[in-house]
Structure 1
Amino acid sequence: MSPVPTHWFYHLEGSTIENVLPELLEKTLAKGWRALVKLPKEMLSEMDDLLWTFRDDSFLPHGRDDEPMADWQPILLSSTADKAEGFEAVFVIGGESVSDMTGVERAMVMINGRSETDVTRERGRWKQLKAAGAELAYYQQNARGSWEKKA
């Protein structure tokens, strides 16, 4: 485990975070990893509901850090967490960040490609992480919605 996690940037073009995040969380759980999802407060309730209902035959076991038994959740949604201890994966949405990534294997930065503000902000994050020597990968959606590694 490195002190700085690998950062994977996901540049969404045709899809929304609501279309993409459940699949990425399923893959995270399949690895046996716990995931912290750091997102803006205004998205918290909507994302909580989505993870229970995104597919008729399945749900993603999760909770919120402002509810009981947060420490037991395989996926934890938070708008306030600043430490990721106990999680192997961290997803950051809407420009959020987690300052203490101790123990994290991979951080996934979700970029809304339809927002120039989002794209510009995350370019700055990429440059800052690169200057700090972090291992980085950049994935962009193609016209079919598949991910292509660009860097």
Structure 2
Amino acid sequence: MTEVLFYHLTESTLEEALPALLEKSLERGWRAVVQLGTTERRDSLDQHLWTYREDSFLAHGAEHDRHPERQPVLLTTGPINPNAAQIRFIADGAEPPDLGAYARAVFMFDGHDAFQLQQAREHWKMMKAAGHQVTYWQQGPDRRWQKKA
């Protein structure tokens, strides 16, 4: 079964938290897919990952780019996995595909958005019912992740 983590953003935005998680995934030798709810959000994150730090960038592509299968990180709005990613990040209201092909899936949701909170609760129930190993992480005041369940 896929290890499924729920990351409750309370102190930072997705743009602030996601790059470090993607970097850690790449350090493990994993490829990643990031699934977002809208094309506008995908395109905004696409630009952000090139400039989020002055001294670095995160090599990535989007589903509409040439050769998505070559991307270490692929941004999408759909269920595709052309880069054979081992980890899938799901954010901003995106509906997850079947997660059976992944070693890990990470649901990231904004703790200040009522819709995302409700959706995360529903996804939690679905993932537990499907038999996945599920854990819940919340940001502390120092922005570090704390395991809560």
Q: CA deviation at 1:102?
A: 4.0
1:129 aligned partner, one-letter code: M
Deviates further, 20-29 or 90-99: 90-99
Partner of 2:29: 32
Aligned residues: 147
Query: 3-state SS of the aligned residue for 1:121?
Result: helix
Partner of 1:13: 10
Deviations 1:6-63 (A, max 9, x none): 1100000010000000000000000000000000212011101111000011111100
User: Is 1:58–2:77 an aligned residue pair?
Assistant: no
Mark the runs of 5 or more structure 1 residues left unpaired by the alignment.
none
Following TM superposition, where does structure 1 have runs of at least 4 consecutive aligned residues deviating by more than 2 angstroms? 100-103
CA contact (8 A) 1:84 1:102 kept: no
Mark the runs of 5 or more structure 2 residues left unpaired by the alignment.
none
When normalised by structure 2's length, the TM-score is 0.94
Percent of aligned pairs with the same amino acid? 39
Q: CA deviation at 1:83?
A: 3.7
2:12 aligned partner, one-letter code: S
Partner of 1:113: 111
When normalised by structure 1's length, the TM-score is 0.92
Query: 3-state SS of the aligned residue for 2:19?
Result: helix
What is the alpha-carbon root mean square deviation over aligned residues? 1.2
Q: CA deviation at 1:95?
A: 1.9
